[in-house]
Amino acid sequence: MGKVRTRLKDKRLVGVNALAEYIDSTPGSVRVMMCRGTLPFPWIKHGRKVLFDLADVDGWIESLPRYEATSPEAA
């Protein structure tokens, strides 16, 4: 049992609620994106649980475009 917990910990798997908080969204929005097929990263279905690997989520975040302020007031 200890090895399984270690493996899961290394993968940094989180549920829907934790993912929603991580990406500053709501659990309902995450579920809607899953149903519509618009969630930009994979998930793991384990029984009734849905899990997300934060490495995949971080990769998606890094792929998003970055914008810089164009005026001194915005900075």
Which of 44-64 are b and which e, b meaning 16 or more Cβ less than 10 Å from the residue's Cβ? eeeeeebbbbbebbeeeeeee
Give the position of tokens 């940094």. 12
Within 10 A of 3 (CB to CB), how many other CB atoms are there? 7
Tell me what pLDDT residue 48 has. Answer: 93
- What is the overall mean pLDDT for the chain? 85
Q: Tens digits of per-residue pLDDT, 5-34?
A: 455 456 689 999 999 999 999 999 999 999
* String of DSSP letters for 43-72: -EEETTEEEEEHHHHHHHHHHS------SG
